[in-house]
A and B are shown apart, each in its own frame.
Chain A
Amino acid sequence: MTIDWKSYDPGECYDEIISTPGYARQAAKNLAAWLRRLSHEDLQSRKLDAELAIIDKGVTFTVYSDGENIDRAWPFDIVPRVIPLREWQVIEAGLKQRLQALNLFIDDLYHDRKIIRDGIVPESLIKESRGYREECIGIKPAHRVWAHICGSDLVRDADGTMYVLEDNLRVPSGVSYMLENREVTKRVLPEMFENNTILPVDDYPDNLLEMLQSISPRQRAKPEVAVLTPGIYNSAYFEHAFLARSMGAELVEGVDLVVDKDDCVFMKTIHGLERIDVIYRRVDDLFLDPEIFNPDSALGVSGLMRAWRKGNVALANAPGCGVADDKVVYSYVPDIIRYYLDEDAMLPNVPTYRCNDKKQREHVLANLETMVVKPANESGGYGMLVGPQSTKKEREEFRQLICKQPRNYIGQPALQLSTAPTLCDGTVEPRHLDLRPFILQGKDIRVTAGGLTRVAMKKGSLVVNSSQGGGSKDTWIIDQDKN
């Protein structure tokens, strides 16, 4: 069976490729026409090739509930998602604006707290935030940037508007899969690159390294950069190794580092100790330094916070930046942007109801069936309620949770996430998806061309997380002027 776009119906949702049955969107016209010409066998053999490539390349991830299996093959759909360059440029500008404002916000919180004094955000909110760290008060990281690497999740609603769903500022992952998806797509759909100008993505490791070196406390030609990983059992270990490798940086675990009496950080090597200038840490705040945080942490480095506070080592992302990665704080981001930059947010937030506000809480509780309820500080899609797909029992459970800990929950109307054609059982069907671009801020600020598109492989499902049955697609930013 070949692809017949006339029988492909995305229904009420916005589809990224097909506008109405039989008609492709402008930027996706070449792709849709070309896919339609492929025979069933050809399509299947390309799908198989992609699966083999992923196994051969060893692109894997870990699901904690999966017992001994620490490297599951990365689920990938060969049909790419297309965004026209002109639309992308607006999104890109919006993402830069957002991260700049968030960094000004974090810096302000750990210094003068003007935004609280001016009554834009309540003090209680910060005090109760799980990501807020008193240990960070008064620290001045390079360029006054705290969140150097941000992965914001974008979703598109039925009317075509792109919303920011959340900002991941702690240790966002996924960028290595974005790069691998492109590699695999070049292998299995090489013809498509002939007649389309698709923006390359492979400059990310260069940009990441440049950003990390730009925050080095020591000014030298080759600041020493290390990637700090919790180790092979971490769900994103593949990515930690990938990034270290593609930057030519060292991949280290806590035990490989020591802090000396002058509060400098060193790496153990066969030549003895070597000074480290910048650490791209993929270890959570609370495990970073047993002297300050969790004393039982075997993942961290004793004295790391001392070294960082003295300005002898740069940490990316900086400890304490998680204060802005909180779903209640998220609801204030449009105000935060206006306060620091005196601009309106270019990218809208999803309307968000804070459960610690009585009126808003009542609205959430009255509309549980049509809302998505999320805990303020979780990630990975855990601990949330998707109203339209929930049972009565689940809703009752959340009603109690919300009443017990209102500060810990927000509610958002369930969006009709956009879809894209996805290969299922030999034909294409619409599946819901989101997009996670990655933004880097050091001396300069940069955004990936596109990002990681995650897709819910189950029919009708809205959960795109790879730990819960999600897959992924390559994302093409297409320059139509050059086509």
Chain B
Amino acid sequence: MSRYIERAENTARLVNTYHFLTMDLPRNTGVSWDLLPTITGGKYSFSDHYQRHDERNTVKFLLADSFNPGALVNSISNARENCRTCRETLPGSAWEVVNELYHYSKNHVMEALPRRGRFNYLTEIIHRSQQLTGLLAGTMSHDHAYDFIRIGRNLERADMTTRVVDIGAMSLKNPDEAVTLDVHVWTSMLRALGAYQMYRKDVQHGVKYEDVVRFLLQNALLPRSVAFCINEVEESVGKLPLYKDTLKPIRSVHRSVQRIAPDKLDAHDLHKEVDHLQVGISEIHNQIRKTWFA
């Protein structure tokens, strides 16, 4: 459940950020909407269904289309199904929040397709998702069920952060454009993760490719950096019985993250490194499934 909610929140953040980013850029740059389905793993499904890879179709695919398992409304619907089956372990109001979120997301999603209503819809989704996270942190016993919630949330966060870094790298593949677009694209990627201001505080000079990538992947204090999320996962896993086998893939991702030296990588190499991280994250997921849910 927590993974699905986190994914919905992150999808909303991503679309919202892209929405604002495209307003600031001259038209016909490498920053195009159809990058988003690719990065969120829906490339083929998207091209199967749509001839025109334009803004409207992309947004529809990411938010509303029932055939896209990663679409925002589907993530929330899945979260609700999960929640229904474990209501007894959660505080009473958690179900209500999830259920309300489900109805809101379904009933209003069409408003987000034109630009006019998009911001309000996505902001509402983000707020309600955060409400659930806060509700659980503040009212649920921090028992093993909570450990799993925390693991799910942080795995999803780490995964999304790698994808956001990937979008930045892919948008700037064309070196001629990279110079002029660099600041706008990376500022937007920071915003997508709500990390812009924390970056400013920490880094204290302009927005630069290698600093942003390092910050989003390796910063020890930013709650959405890959390193931070994996730490959280490790801490939660350590509280569970039979945790030993899961530590191995966790530590392997740790090492991969710390090894990345963005100043020595071009967009293509960075993409490969990020890909490698994503494989590592899914190995953690698989090991967790094998240990506790098989």
CA of A194 to CA of B59, assembled, Å: 15
The answer to whether A206 and B203 have CB atoms under 8 Å apart is no
Interface residues on A, range: 20 to 34
The answer to whether A194 and B205 have CB atoms under 8 Å apart is no
CA of A205 to CA of B190, assembled, Å: 15
The answer to whether A248 and B23 have CB atoms under 8 Å apart is no
CA of A15 to CA of B142, assembled, Å: 64
Contact mask for chain B residues 71-91; partner A; CB cutoff 8 A; 1 contact, 0 none: 000000000000000000000
Interface residue from A202, A248, A479 paired with B204 (Cβ < 8 Å):
A248
The answer to whether A200 and B184 have CB atoms under 8 Å apart is yes
How far in angstroms is the closest Cβ of chain B from A457?
26
The answer to whether A482 and B184 have CB atoms under 8 Å apart is no
- CB neighbours (8 Å) of B119 from chain A are 187, 190
The answer to whether B187 and A210 have CB atoms under 8 Å apart is no
The answer to whether A206 and B206 have CB atoms under 8 Å apart is yes
The answer to whether B204 and A225 have CB atoms under 8 Å apart is yes
A-B contact number at CB 8 A = 58
Interface residues on B, range: 20 to 34
CA of A213 to CA of B183, assembled, Å: 18
Name B162-186 residues within 8 Å CB distance of A. Answer: 183-184
CA of A259 to CA of B135, assembled, Å: 47
- CB neighbours (8 Å) of B201 from chain A are 248
The chain A residue with its CB closest to the CB of B22 is A193
Give 18 CB contacts A-B under 8 Å: A187-B119, A190-B19, A190-B119, A191-B114, A193-B22, A194-B23, A194-B55, A200-B25, A202-B24, A221-B205, A222-B205, A245-B200, A246-B197, A248-B200, A248-B202, A248-B203, A249-B204, A479-B26
The chain B residue with its CB closest to the CB of A203 is B183
B contact face: mostly helix, strand, loop, or mixed? helix
Contact mask for chain A residues 193-227; partner B; CB cutoff 8 A; 1 contact, 0 none: 11001101011011001100100000001100100
Contact mask for chain B residues 191-211; partner A; CB cutoff 8 A; 1 contact, 0 none: 000000101111111110000
- CB neighbours (8 Å) of A225 from chain B are 204
Interface residue from B22, B116, B187, B197 paired with A248 (Cβ < 8 Å):
B197
Interface residue from B23, B183, B199, B202 paired with A193 (Cβ < 8 Å):
B23
- CB neighbours (8 Å) of A268 from chain B are none
- CB neighbours (8 Å) of A479 from chain B are 26
How far in angstroms is the closest Cβ of chain A from B59?
12
How far in angstroms is the closest Cβ of chain B from A43?
12
- CB neighbours (8 Å) of A40 from chain B are none
Name A90-146 residues within 8 Å CB distance of B. Answer: none
On B, residues with C-beta under 8 Å from A are: 19-20, 22-27, 55, 114-116, 118-119, 183-184, 187, 197, 199-207
The chain A residue with its CB closest to the CB of B117 is A190
On A, residues with C-beta under 8 Å from B are: 186-187, 190-191, 193-194, 197-198, 200, 202-203, 205-206, 209-210, 213, 221-222, 225, 245-249, 479, 482
The answer to whether B26 and A246 have CB atoms under 8 Å apart is no
CA of A479 to CA of B180, assembled, Å: 16
How far in angstroms is the closest Cβ of chain A from B16?
11
The chain B residue with its CB closest to the CB of A56 is B123
How far in angstroms is the closest Cβ of chain B from A77?
19
The answer to whether A202 and B118 have CB atoms under 8 Å apart is no
The answer to whether residues A247 and B200 also contact, given A197-B27, A200-B184 and a CB cut-off of 8 A, is: yes
- CB neighbours (8 Å) of A197 from chain B are 26-27
The answer to whether B205 and A213 have CB atoms under 8 Å apart is yes
- CB neighbours (8 Å) of B206 from chain A are 206, 209-210
The answer to whether B23 and A186 have CB atoms under 8 Å apart is yes
CA of A443 to CA of B118, assembled, Å: 41
CA of A225 to CA of B187, assembled, Å: 21
The answer to whether A190 and B204 have CB atoms under 8 Å apart is no
